[in-house]
């Protein structure tokens, strides 16, 4: 029966409503006659029965003309109620007119009661049917029950469009605006966001749609994670969907979980070893306001540390991170300490490590945007290399137990200065690990993460939201991808079972063609690609050419001989490293070049220390650079 009701076509439903509108005429007149005469129901008045038959047909015609038979049950409000009152009044007046024409003395009270009874029966029957259908929908697995998070313009527009979809039913709004709580918007009640679980249980909600396009991504992500923890599917409504007005917006919904864009199995198992290593510890996260750093903070909170020190150079990023993490840590009694400053500030770093008794350092602070570091060599290398050297050495001197460097696949055979600076940071840590008796130094290397600041996914989404075009550097470009959540969890795991000096590589799966990713994002947003095969498509893809220092394909390791670890997605690799003298000499020369303000000198030192790196161009083409470039050309790449 439930499936029969759900599978009724729009025409079949309209036919049922039309038949009910007609059958109410004799029922209403019988009730009106009995109420007015206080006697038995109408029986032998043949002429009245003839009128009633005519009025029944007329009711069907008027209902169709007024559009009542086509009005869905959940839309029966406002103007639809007024139209049903007009129908009842018209039928009553027409009945009286026929009686006058035929010379029948029909008391006006009967006509008035007939109109009122018809309207009451019509109104009550529609609401009874709505209740019955709602109960059917609540009990059917074929219907998706929805709550809309955001009771603004976008949310109301979305609620109206949902009414046109038989297998989707919106039950309530969720909103954090205290002024809206308890209100009823477009037929749906508004509840506080904090009561989401109660609303989900009451209405058996399956899915929540985030209709707050102007809310920051970090706050939307925080709300989405809380809802997903309740077992709800969460979709988000892009800002562009609000602007297009007349177009349907259901097709613009995208999943909040970026893992849906990848063809890899998600990381579902619990973080057991990580919990033991970080529980009760004082943990410092550098770059805490960045994409990776902030996600590391979120996941460290779940490990129940004693204290978390959020170290960040950007005031705004630190404020945002502190606000979010403090809210997460409040119930667990974790102390949150925000520290504003640079990891290259030796005095500040030493004071922070000592004052807060730091046990574990997760070093995620880095300048990572390839073109920016390429054109700002001195600043980029100073932060990525000298900052790492200062933080690592001070951590060793302070007796920190574990130090984990978050590195990049761009450090492997680097084709740009950013990658070379990350490889130089790795070399510094490898050298310290050789001579450290107390601090366990380790390196975790992985590729791109979906949704991180400056990554292609937010860029493509912004370009799609503006109507295109989507820009690709080269159709052949491939990159390794994983989600921020998975990468951060594996970083914590790898750091927890490191013994010292290891370079861990995360299993990134197969490389993804950036062109395919762009097309997938366009499709997910509800658009089509405009190209030679589809000239009427929505979004065009434009190729701009490789940027300085950009490679077609990235690697995760320089050499063969990878070893498995306690986790199947974490691999240990063997990497060559420099001697203590070479590292000390390189750092000394690098500091001199930075103090001299020489970008060329900085690049020269990096190329000398990172043997696989050869800058594409450099004024004067220093001899050391030419040697490095020749070495790169003559050496056979590792497979």
Q: Which residue has the higher pLDDT, 497 or 40?
A: 497
pLDDT at 270: 47
Query: Is the confidence at residue 425, as pLDDT, over 60?
Result: yes
Instruction: Supply the CATH number for residue 398's domain.
Output: 3.40.50.720
Q: Inform me whether the pLDDT recorded for 312 exceeds 50.
A: yes
Tell me which of 104, 124, 139 is where a domain ends. Answer: 139
Do residues 381 and 484 share a domain?
yes
Shared domain check, 204 and 96 = no
Give the per-residue pLDDT at 239: 43
For 426-435, b/e burial (b = at least 16 CB within 10 A) is bbbbbbbbee
pLDDT tens digit sequence for 232-241: 888 876 543 4
pLDDT score at 73: 67
Per cent of the chain over pLDDT 70 is 75
Whether residue 66 has pLDDT greater than 50: yes
What percent of the chain lies above the pLDDT cut of 90?
Answer: 23
- Say if 309 falls within a structural domain: yes
- Number of domains observed in the structure of the chain: 4
Residues 284 and 399 in one domain: yes
| Reported confidence tier of residue 42, pLDDT bands at 50, 70, 90 | very low
Confidence of residue 401 (pLDDT cuts 50, 70, 90): very high
Q: Which helix (H) or strand (E) holds 136?
A: helix 108-139
Of 208-222, 292-306, 485-499, least confident by mean pLDDT is 208-222
Query: What tokens were used for 114?
Result: 């007939």
Verify that 61 and 198 share a domain, yes or no.
Answer: no
The confidence band for 548, taking pLDDT boundaries of 50, 70 and 90, is low
Q: Which residues are catalytic?
A: 410
Q: Are residues 326 and 372 in the same domain?
A: yes
Write down the pLDDT at residue 395: 95
Phi, psi of 235 (to 5 degrees): -120, 155
Interval 244-251 mean pLDDT: 46
Q: Are residues 178 and 221 in the same domain?
A: yes
Same domain membership, residue 191 and residue 71: no
Taking residue 300's Cβ as centre, other Cβ atoms within 10 Å add up to 25
Is residue 569 situated within a structural domain? yes
Asked whether 406 and 491 are in contact (CB, 8 A), the reply is yes
pLDDT band for position 283 (cuts 50, 70, 90): very high
Looking at the structure, do residues 135 and 24 belong to the same domain, yes or no? yes
Q: Which range is least confidently modeled, 81-95, 281-295, 509-523, 531-545? A: 509-523
Average pLDDT of the residues of the chain: 78
Confidence tier at 44 by pLDDT (50, 70, 90): very low
Same domain, 288 and 406: yes
What is the model's pLDDT at position 627?
Answer: 39
Residue 361 pLDDT greater than 90, yes or no: yes
Residue 295 pLDDT greater than 80, yes or no: yes
The answer to whether residue 205 scores a pLDDT higher than 80 is yes
- Over 90: is that where the pLDDT of 38 sits? no
Calculated CA dihedral for residues 122, 124, 126, 132, nearest 10 degrees: -150
Average pLDDT rounded to a whole number, residues 87-110: 73
Task: Work out the average pLDDT over 62-84.
Answer: 76
Supply the pLDDT for residue 598: 85
- Quote the pLDDT of residue 603: 92
Domain edge (last residue) among 139, 164, 180 = 139
pLDDT at 633: 34
105 or 122, which is more confident?
122
Burial zone of 447 (CB within 10 Å; 0-12 exposed, 13-18 middle, 19+ buried): buried
Beta bridge partners of 311: 286, 339
Against a cut of 0.75, is the pTM above it? no
pLDDT tens-place string over residues 163-188: 766 667 788 999 888 788 788 887 78
Kindly state the average pLDDT of the residues 565-583: 78
More confident residue, 382 or 91: 382
Confirm whether 267 is domain-assigned. no
Per the CB < 8 A criterion, the answer to whether 20 and 125 are in contact is: yes
Q: 97, exposed or middle or buried, with CB in 10 Å at 0-12, 13-18, 19+?
A: exposed
Mean pLDDT calculated for residue range 286-305: 90
Residue 322 sits in the same domain as residue 441: yes
Does residue 586 form part of some domain? yes
The closest of 405, 400, 404 to 438, measured between CA atoms, is 400
pLDDT for 619: 43
Flag whether 163 is in a domain: yes
88 pLDDT more than 90: no
Confidence of residue 329 (pLDDT cuts 50, 70, 90): confident
Asked if the structure places residue 298 within a domain, the reply is yes
Give the range of the structural domain holding residue 89, as residue numbers without chain letter. Answer: 2-139
Any domain includes 213: yes
Q: What is the mean pLDDT of residues 525-550?
A: 76
Name the band, by pLDDT with cuts 50, 70 and 90, for residue 632. Answer: very low
Per the structure block, which two tokens stand in for 264? 């890899």
Q: What is the average pLDDT across 351-373?
A: 93
Same domain as 301, residue 238: no
Please check whether residues 284 and 403 belong to one and the same domain: yes
Look at residue 256 and tell me whether its pLDDT is greater than 60.
Answer: no
Contact 178, 156 (CB under 8 A): no
Q: Is the pLDDT of residue 152 over 80?
A: yes
| 528: number of Cβ within 10 Å | 13
Residue range 545-573: mean pLDDT, rounded? 64
Last residue within a domain, chosen from 86, 112, 139: 139
Of 74-78, 185-189, 271-275, 476-480, the least confident: 271-275
Residue with tokens 């009694």: 333
Helix intervals (H) in 468-571:
484-496, 514-524
Any domain includes 268: no
């Amino acid at each position: 029966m439930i499936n029969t009701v759900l599978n009724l076509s729009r025409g079949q439903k309209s036919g049922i409503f039309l038949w009910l509108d007609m059958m109410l005429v004799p029922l209403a007149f019988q009730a009106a006659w009995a109420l007015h005469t206080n006697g038995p129901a109408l029986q032998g008045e043949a002429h009245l029965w003839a009128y009633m038959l005519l009025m029944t047909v007329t009711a069907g015609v008027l209902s169709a003309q007024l559009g009542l038979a086509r009005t869905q049950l959940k839309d029966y409000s406002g103007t639809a109620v007024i139209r049903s009152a007009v129908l009842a009044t018209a039928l009553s007046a027409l009945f009286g007119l026929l009686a006058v024409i035929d010379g029948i003395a029909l008391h006006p009270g009967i006509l008035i009661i007939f109109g009122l009874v018809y309207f009451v029966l019509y109104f009550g029957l529609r609401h009874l049917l709505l209740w019955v259908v709602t109960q059917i929908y609540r009990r059917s697995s074929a219907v998706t029950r929805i709550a809309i998070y955001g009771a603004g313009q976008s949310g109301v527009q979305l609620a109206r469009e949902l009414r046109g979809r038989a297998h989707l039913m919106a039950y309530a709004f969720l909103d954090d605006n205290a002024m809206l709580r308890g209100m009823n918007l477009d037929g749906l009640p508004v509840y506080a966001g904090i009561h989401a679980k109660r609303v989900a249980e009451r209405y058996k909600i399956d899915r929540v749609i985030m209709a707050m396009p102007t809310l920051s991504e970090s706050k939307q992500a925080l709300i989405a994670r809380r809802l997903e923890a309740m077992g709800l599917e969460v979709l988000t409504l892009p800002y562009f969907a609000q602007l297009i007005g007349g177009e349907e917006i259901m097709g613009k919904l995208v999943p909040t979980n970026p893992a849906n864009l990848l063809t890899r199995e998600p990381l579902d198992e619990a973080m057991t070893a990580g919990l033991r290593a970080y529980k009760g510890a004082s943990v410092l996260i550098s770059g805490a306001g960045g994409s990776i750093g902030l996600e590391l903070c979120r996941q460290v909170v779940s490990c129940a540390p004693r204290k978390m020190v959020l170290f960040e150079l950007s005031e705004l990023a630190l404020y945002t991170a502190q606000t979010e993490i403090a809210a997460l840590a409040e119930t667990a009694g974790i102390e949150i300490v925000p520290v504003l400053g640079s990891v290259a500030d030796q005095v500040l770093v030493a004071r922070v490590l000592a004052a807060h008794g730091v046990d574990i350092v997760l070093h995620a602070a880095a300048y990572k945007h390839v073109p920016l570091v390429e054109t700002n060599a001195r600043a980029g290398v100073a932060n990525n290399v000298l900052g790492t050297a200062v933080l690592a050495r001070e951590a060793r001197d302070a007796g920190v137990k574990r130090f984990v460097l978050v590195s990049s696949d761009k450090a492997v055979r680097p084709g740009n200065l950013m990658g070379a600076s990350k490889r130089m940071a790795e070399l510094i840590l490898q050298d310290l690990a050789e001579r450290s008796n107390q601090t366990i130094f380790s390196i975790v290397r992985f590729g791109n993460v979906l949704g991180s600041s400056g990554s292609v996914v937010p860029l493509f989404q912004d370009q799609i939201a503006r109507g295109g075009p989507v820009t690709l550097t080269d159709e052949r470009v491939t990159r390794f991808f994983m989600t921020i959540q998975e990468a951060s969890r594996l970083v914590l795991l790898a750091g927890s079972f490191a013994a010292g000096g290891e370079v861990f590589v995360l299993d990134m799966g197969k490389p993804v063609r950036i062109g395919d990713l762009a097309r997938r994002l366009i499709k997910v947003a509800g658009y089509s690609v405009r190209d030679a095969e589809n000239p009427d498509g929505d979004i065009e893809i434009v190729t701009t050419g490789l940027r300085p220092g950009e490679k077609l394909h990235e690697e995760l390791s320089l050499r063969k001989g990878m070893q498995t670890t306690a986790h199947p997605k974490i691999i240990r690799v063997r990497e060559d490293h420099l001697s203590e003298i070479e590292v000390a000499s390189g750092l000394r020369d690098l500091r001199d070049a930075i103090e001299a303000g020489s970008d060329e000198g900085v690049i020269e030192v990096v190329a000398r220390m990172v043997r696989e790196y050869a800058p594409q161009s450099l004024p004067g083409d220093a001899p050391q650079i030419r040697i490095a470039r020749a070495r790169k050309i003559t050496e056979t790449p590792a497979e």
